[in-house]
Chain A
C-alpha cells in the first residue's frame, strides 16, 4: 500500500473502476497499476525489468494471444489447434497458477512460477499481459474443463431414473460446476476481477465471458438458432457474473448461498423468457386469426 502513494494520473480513475468490483474488504491494489506522472508505466519490481515495455507494446495492437479463438465454425473432422498457450507459457503458467492462493494473480506468482518451471525470472516477459495472462489461463482452463465434467455429470443417454435431464437443469449444473472451479482461488478472485475491469482487458474479458456462456449452452445441448440464441447467452452471462461476484463474499459452507442465488436468477430468467414467449404467441395467434377472418369475408389478402 505504500507504493500506492507515489501514483498520479491514471490511478484515481482506475480506482473508481475498481471500486465497482470491490464488494467488500480491503484489497491490495495490483502494483502494475501504478503509473508515473510521465505517463509511461513505471517499473516497481526489480526482478522483471522488461515487463512494462512489453505491455506497452502489446496495447498498441490490443490483442492477446487468445484472440484467434473466436466463436467461428467448429469443425469435428478438422479440429482447431490446441489453445492459445505455447509450451513455455504453459509451463510457467501451470507453476504460477499453483502460487495464486498465496501470492494472488500477481507478478510475484508469475516470477515464482517461472523459477519453478526452470526458467529465468525474466522469461515472464513471454507473457506480455503479465498477471492478466494468469487470469486468462484460469478462465480458459476452467472453461475447457467443463467439457470433461459434462460427461461425468450427464452420462450418456439418461439419468439413473431414466428421465432425460432438461436443458435448463443442465445449464444450471454446468454453471455451478464452472463456479466451483473458482473455489481454490476465490480469496484472490476480487483482485482478478479488478484486473479484468481495466479498460485494456475489458474486451478480452467480455469475450471470454461470452465464450463461456456459449460453451455452457452448447454443452447443455441447447440448439436454438433464432434470436433466443442471443438472449440466452446474454442473460446467462449476466447471471454468471452476478453469481461470480456473489461467490467472492459468500461465507456459507460449500457456497450454498451462491448456489441458491444462481438457482433463483436462472429461474427468473426462465420465467421472463416464458412470459415473453407467451406474449409473442398471443400476438401472432391474434394477428393470423384476424387475417384469416378477413380472408373468409372474401378479402383478397
Chain B
C-alpha cells in the first residue's frame, strides 16, 4: 500500500497519544501541530512496501535503520532500543476486535449505499435540485464500501452472514423515508450518520489505544494500522459531513422527528451490535 503525501502528513498525529476522537477535523489538525514528530519520523518514512513481507530478519534490519536514524543516546542504549524496537504480534482479542470492526463497517457502508440508492428516485422526483447532493453522498458511500470490501478481502475477515438481511432492511428504510418526503429522508440520514459517527469514533479510539500502547512499550507500529486509522478518520469526517447536509436540508422538520430518528437510531445500534457478532 503506497503512502501518499496526505497520509504521511497525517501520521504525525500518532505520537501525541490518545486524542482526536472528537468528530471534527480541526481537532486533529491542532494536535498535529502541537506534537513534535522528530522521534517518530523514521517510522513514517520507512517505505511500507519494504516492510510488508515481514520476515523476522527483515524486521530487524528495518528496526535497526530506524534506531540509527533517530540517532540519540549512547551506543549501548541504542543497542537496547533496537533490540526491543520490533513489531509485536496482535493478540487474539485485538484480532477479534479488528475483524468485527471491519465486518460491521462493511455492513454499514453497504446499508448506506442501499439507503441512498432507494431514497434518490422518490426524493429527486419531487425536488430535482437535490439531485447533485444525493449523488455526491451516494458516491462517497460507494467509495467507502469499496474501501472496506478491499480491506475485508485483504485481511481475510469473514463478511457478515446477514448480508441479505441488511440489504433488504436498508433498501426498505431508504425507500420508505424517501417516499415520506425530503424531510423524512434527511432525518433518516441524520439519524444514521449520527450513530455511524459515534461508532467510527469508538473504533478510532480503540485503535489509537492499541497503537499508543505499542509505542509506549517501544514497539514499532506497522503502516497497515496507520493507514487504517487515517482511512477511518477520513470516512468518519465524510459521514459527519453528510450529517451536516441533512440538517441543512430540514431534517429537523420531519414529522414526527423524534419518532423517526429514535427508531432509526435504535435500529442502527441493534444492527451494529448484531453485525459485530454475526
Number of A-B pairs whose CB atoms are under 8 Å?
84
CB atoms of B179 and A71 under 8 A apart:
no
B:86-143 near A, CB below 8 Å: 87-90, 92, 94-96, 98-99, 102, 106, 121-122, 125-126
CB atoms of B179 and A214 under 8 A apart:
no
Q: Please give me the residue from chain A that is nearest to B163 by CB atom.
A: A227
Measured between beta carbons, the chain B residues less than 8 angstroms from A227 are: 159, 163-164
Interface residues, chain B, with chain A CB atoms under 8 Å away: 51-54, 87-90, 92, 94-96, 98-99, 102, 106, 121-122, 125-126, 149-150, 152-153, 155-159, 161, 163-164, 175, 179, 222-225
Cα(A232)–Cα(B121), bound, Å: 34
- Residue A72 CB within 8 A of the other chain: yes
CB-CB under 8 A for A80 and B95, given A73-B90, A225-B159, A295-B121: yes
CB atoms of B149 and A225 under 8 A apart:
yes
Cα(A301)–Cα(B122), bound, Å: 6
CB atoms of B223 and A77 under 8 A apart:
yes
Residue contacts A-B, CB under 8 angstroms, 22 given: A68-B92, A71-B156, A72-B157, A73-B95, A74-B156, A75-B95, A75-B155, A75-B222, A76-B222, A77-B51, A77-B52, A77-B224, A78-B89, A78-B222, A79-B54, A81-B89, A218-B156, A225-B106, A227-B159, A229-B159, A300-B179, A301-B179
> What distance in Å separates the Cβ of A290 from its nearest Cβ neighbour in chain B?
13
Measured between beta carbons, the chain A residues less than 8 angstroms from B152 are: 225
> What distance in Å separates the Cβ of A165 from its nearest Cβ neighbour in chain B?
18
Q: Mark A15-52, 1 if CB is under 8 A from B, else 0.
A: 00000000000000000000000000000000000000
CB atoms of B153 and A73 under 8 A apart:
no
A76, A81, A300, most chain B CB atoms within 10 A: A76
Cα(A99)–Cα(B148), bound, Å: 47
> What distance in Å separates the Cβ of A237 from its nearest Cβ neighbour in chain B?
14
CB atoms of A80 and B159 under 8 A apart:
no
Cα(A81)–Cα(B223), bound, Å: 19
> What distance in Å separates the Cβ of B145 from its nearest Cβ neighbour in chain A?
10
Measured between beta carbons, the chain A residues less than 8 angstroms from B94 are: 73
Cα(A227)–Cα(B225), bound, Å: 27
- Residue A285 CB within 8 A of the other chain: no
For the complex of A and B, 5 pairs with smallest distance between CB atoms: A77-B222, A73-B98, A223-B153, A72-B95, A74-B156
19 extra A-B contacts, CB within 8 A, seeds A76-B224, A78-B88, A78-B224 = A72-B99, A72-B157, A73-B90, A73-B94, A73-B95, A73-B98, A74-B155, A75-B95, A75-B98, A75-B155, A76-B53, A77-B87, A223-B150, A223-B153, A225-B159, A226-B163, A227-B164, A300-B122, A301-B179
Cα(A72)–Cα(B95), bound, Å: 6
Cα(A119)–Cα(B161), bound, Å: 47
Cα(A214)–Cα(B150), bound, Å: 16
CB atoms of B155 and A73 under 8 A apart:
yes
Measured between beta carbons, the chain B residues less than 8 angstroms from A75 are: 89-90, 95, 98, 155, 222, 224
Q: Please give me the residue from chain A that is nearest to B126 by CB atom.
A: A300
A:260-301 near B, CB below 8 Å: 295, 300-301
